Amino acid sequence: MSPPRAWAEISFSALKHNLDFIRSHSNQAVMAVLKAGAYGHGIEQIALALESENLAYFGVASVIEARKITQAGIQTPIYLLGPTFHEERAEVIENGWTPSISSLEEAEDFNRLASASKINVVHITLDTGMGRGGFLPAALDTAIDKITQLPNIKIEGIGSHLPSADEDRAFTLRQFATFEAAVKDKPFKYIHLSNSAGLLDYSSDSTNLVRPGLMLYGISPIASYQQMLQPVMTLKSRVSLIRTLPAGHGISYGRDAILKKDTRVATIGAGYGDGYPRAISNNGAEVFIRNQRCPVLGRVTMDQIMVDVSDLPLCESGDEVELFGSNILVSEIAEKAHTIAWEVLTGITPRVTRTYQ
């Protein structure tokens, strides 16, 4: 069988290393966030790799994702990070997944669908500033009083979310204070607020569970912690063609790159159809070949990119190329694409073969 043109190598040992770092750094129970196909890494494979790690929860975005890992045989409890639709709730109860509750209506609906012999645990979501879901702090205690009276559901935890833990320290500190005041004396098993940036840069005696996503995959939202982590995904391709093109020749669509000198140009078998962002075009992005950085030339096309290998005389067709990984961080590619690492990782398309090691 011929090898894939573009593939993503996923390292379980890097994943384990990052989890160990999370545990040593935060000393709290861990909900591994596996939404969006485990940030593009493959939700079943990552869930199975973490299954024996004694995690408090796997956090997913939707019932579809919860169903996928349940069908893969996962026993770790599953938490639904966002609100559910009415039509999804019977399946939630059926499987004993833990929903996050933002309104009395949701709580009452779950209570109707559950029963005395199948009591379902739920978490309360508090909106301390994210503006995406949850009860406002002023409404919390009344809501909890009412939900506590519903016989078929049981509040197991309470959580909130940080919108700018990697951007706005003053606001985030106020959020921690609001959250801590709200959860004071609440008798729940799990109290949780921090995503990756929150658990890296803030601490709280009031919480006992953290919800890391990005950093589990080896990318730090805060640059100073990057050295503590190992990128789990390496996106790779191969050189498919090498030619020397003369000064004045144009490269790629729109011809906005015109060679200033005779240039050895390598064509590589990956493009935006694989999720390598087209937005990096003409913005100084590089790839890694034979231990050296090589500049991308012109626009990223759907299936191919061109790079300058003039400084790599030994480079030949078939050479492996790292598009991002340990040598070129996905954060660097994201920055060149005017976006964030989360979006680049989750944008790696299905045609990219994932290989696990």
Residue in 10, 22, 81, 235 binding ligand PLP, rule: CB under 6 A? 81
| Shortest Å distance, C-beta 161 to ligand PLP | 4
How far is residue 5's CA from residue 16's CA, in Å, rounded to a whole number? 28
Residue 132 known to bind ligand: yes
Interface of this chain with ligand PLP, residues 293 to 322, rule: CB under 6 A: none
Residue 302 known to bind ligand: yes
Q: Is 195 in the site for ligand PLP (CB under 6 A)?
A: yes
Q: Is 196 in the site for ligand PLP (CB under 6 A)?
A: yes
| Shortest Å distance, C-beta 106 to ligand PLP | 16
Q: Is 211 in the site for ligand PLP (CB under 6 A)?
A: yes
| Shortest Å distance, C-beta 213 to ligand PLP | 3
Please say which residue, 5 or 35, places its beta carbon nearer to ligand PLP. Answer: 35
Please say which residue, 242 or 340, places its beta carbon nearer to ligand PLP. Answer: 340
Q: Is 213 in the site for ligand PLP (CB under 6 A)?
A: yes
Please say which residue, 213 or 271, places its beta carbon nearer to ligand PLP. Answer: 213
Residue in 134, 157, 212, 218 binding ligand PLP, rule: CB under 6 A? 212
Let me know: does 121 contact 111? Beta carbons within 8 Å.
no
Please say which residue, 98 or 111, places its beta carbon nearer to ligand PLP. Answer: 98
Q: How far is CA 170 from CA 164, 166, 284, 356, in A?
A: 10, 11, 34, 41
Q: Is 161 in the site for ligand PLP (CB under 6 A)?
A: yes
Task: Examine the residue annotation and report whether 253 is marked as an active-site residue of this protein.
Answer: yes
Task: Examine the residue annotation and report whether 79 is marked as an active-site residue of this protein.
Answer: no
Please say which residue, 33 or 93, places its beta carbon nearer to ligand PLP. Answer: 33
Residue in 33, 107, 155, 257 binding ligand PLP, rule: CB under 6 A? 33
Residues involved in catalysis? 35, 253
Enumerate the known binding-site residues. 132, 302
| Annotated binding-site residue numbers for substrate | 132, 302
| Residues found near ligand PLP in the complex (CB under 6 A) | 33, 35, 81, 161, 195-196, 211-214, 221
